[in-house]
């Protein structure tokens, strides 16, 4: 069997580490490690999910027109330039598969999302990591890293796991500064948490080299169902549609996502609750001597004095049934990423950390 080998790059992929959800011997566990919506999906989305059960023997539609039209209406976009996928992860994979080959480079930032690297390697390309400036995307550092082999640049805005946001004018400067052969991908997984932010849609509309990805996994509370979408120039969307499986999304996914995005009242309520609780928790932590950057997402990146202290805080939280994300793998060993839970969860996190910091003296 020695002759059977995968394509170059595949064996360099480390398996994606999902957020943990169990602690042995502890009841009343709260999972705050995967940036999930603590309130779950909209009741309308749950009803649509159940209603889809009777038609499971039917193949789903291939063009996703119902969902694309709903997204277009809600966000004021051109439905013809929307593509839907199995999470935004699939849109990221399509982009790499379509535009990246052996020897090509893909830029992502220092603390960027793991899927950029994974999908780049899966396509045979070379991931290029660019440093951030104090946990913020650094446009000049990215522009300096571009070579003639660069094909894609991924930035998440707001970024994960940092929660930081760069301005529209900085994003526009990045798009403007890239050479013709480079496509800029704006990952807007958390943009729904920023009131009034278009995720870069206007920039997509005004340029030929910008694509935006979005997801139903975060604000809409549908991470378990796997639905995302992308918005880009007609030429790019046409390319991606050629490699998209015709039945990549089930009727259940399509109908549930459509109901979720149509329930504006619930989405706005979730966004407001997230902002209120995030601001409260950040201020509480700050008061205990645990700083964080201003977060624009549904998590806080809590910074401790050093890696040892972060690990001790993680262990203490865990022993109290609070599972947060250790982000050492993202180059942030002195920090913990804490998803904003419901009010009771946020209060528990604050209480446990207050005791922890007190004991540390």
Ligand X SMILES: *Cc1c(COP(=O)(O)O)cnc(C)c1O
Interface ranges with ligand X (CB under 6 A): 35, 87-89, 113, 156, 160, 187, 189, 215, 217-218, 223, 228
CB of 85 to ligand X, least distance (A): 8
User: How is residue 154 written in tokens?
Assistant: 């991924």
CB of 276 to ligand X, least distance (A): 22
3-state class of 280 per DSSP?
helix
CB of 289 to ligand X, least distance (A): 27
CB of 305 to ligand X, least distance (A): 26
Task: Render the burial of 92-112: b for 16+ CB within 10 Å, e for the rest.
Answer: bbbbbbbbbeeebbbbbbbbb
Q: What is the DSSP string of 143-203?
A: HHH--TTEEEEEEESS-TTT-----HHHHHHHHHHS-TT-EEEEE-TTGGGSTT--TTHHH
Residue closest to 193 by CA, chosen among 283, 298, 265:
298
CB of 312 to ligand X, least distance (A): 26
User: How is residue 155 written in tokens?
Assistant: 């930035």
Pairwise CA distance, residues 95 & 75, whole Å: 22
Give me Rg for the CA atoms of the chain: 21
Q: Which is nearer to ligand X, 174 or 352 (CB)?
A: 174
Residue nearest to ligand X (CB): 87
Q: Which is nearer to ligand X, 155 or 353 (CB)?
A: 155
CB of 187 to ligand X, least distance (A): 5
Residue closest to 142 by CA, chosen among 116, 178, 118, 112:
178
Q: Which is nearer to ligand X, 77 or 222 (CB)?
A: 222
Q: Which is nearer to ligand X, 68 or 348 (CB)?
A: 68
Pairwise CA distance, residues 250 & 242, whole Å: 18
CB of 222 to ligand X, least distance (A): 9
Q: Which is nearer to ligand X, 299 or 304 (CB)?
A: 299
Q: Which helix (H) or strand (E) element contains residue 361?
A: none
Strands 228-231 and 82-85: antiparallel
Q: Which is nearer to ligand X, 282 or 297 (CB)?
A: 297
């Amino acid at each position: 069997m020695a002759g059977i080998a995968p394509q170059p790059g595949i064996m360099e992929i480390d398996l994606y580490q999902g957020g943990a959800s169990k602690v042995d011997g502890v009841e009343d566990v709260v999972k705050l490690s995967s940036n999930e919506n603590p309130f779950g999906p909209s009741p309308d989305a749950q009803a649509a999910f159940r209603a889809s059960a009777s038609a499971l023997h039917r193949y789903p539609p291939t063009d996703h027109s119902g969902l694309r039209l709903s997204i277009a209406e809600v966000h004021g976009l051109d439905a013809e330039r929307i593509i839907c996928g199995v999470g935004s992860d699939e849109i990221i994979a399509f982009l790499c598969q379509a535009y990246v080959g052996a020897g090509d480079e893909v830029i992502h930032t220092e603390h960027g999302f793991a899927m950029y690297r994974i999908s780049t390697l899966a396509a045979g390309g070379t991931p290029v990591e660019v440093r951030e400036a104090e946990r913020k995307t650094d446009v000049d550092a990215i522009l300096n890293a571009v070579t003639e082999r660069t094909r894609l640049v991924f930035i998440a805005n707001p970024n994960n796991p940092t929660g930081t946001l760069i301005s529209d004018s900085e994003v526009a400067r990045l798009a403007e500064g890239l050479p013709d052969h480079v496509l800029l991908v704006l990952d807007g997984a958390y943009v729904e948490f920023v009131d009034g932010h278009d995720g870069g849609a206007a920039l997509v509309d005004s340029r030929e080299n910008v694509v935006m990805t979005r997801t139903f996994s975060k604000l809409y509370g549908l991470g378990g169902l796997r639905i995302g979408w992308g918005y880009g120039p007609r030429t790019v969307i046409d390319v991606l549609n050629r490699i998209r499986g015709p039945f990549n999304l089930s009727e259940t996914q399509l109908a549930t996502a459509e109901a979720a995005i149509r329930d504006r009242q619930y989405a706005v309520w979730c966004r407001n609750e997230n902002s209120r609780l995030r601001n409260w928790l950040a201020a509480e932590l700050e008061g205990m001597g645990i700083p964080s950057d201003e977060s624009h997402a549904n998590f806080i990146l809590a910074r401790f004095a050093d890696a040892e202290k972060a690990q001790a805080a993680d262990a203490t939280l865990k022993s109290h049934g609070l599972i947060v994300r250790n982000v050492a793998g993202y180059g942030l060993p002195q920090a913990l990423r804490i998803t904003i839970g419901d009010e009771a969860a946020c209060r528990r996190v604050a209480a446990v950390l207050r005791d922890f910091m007190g004991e540390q003296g």
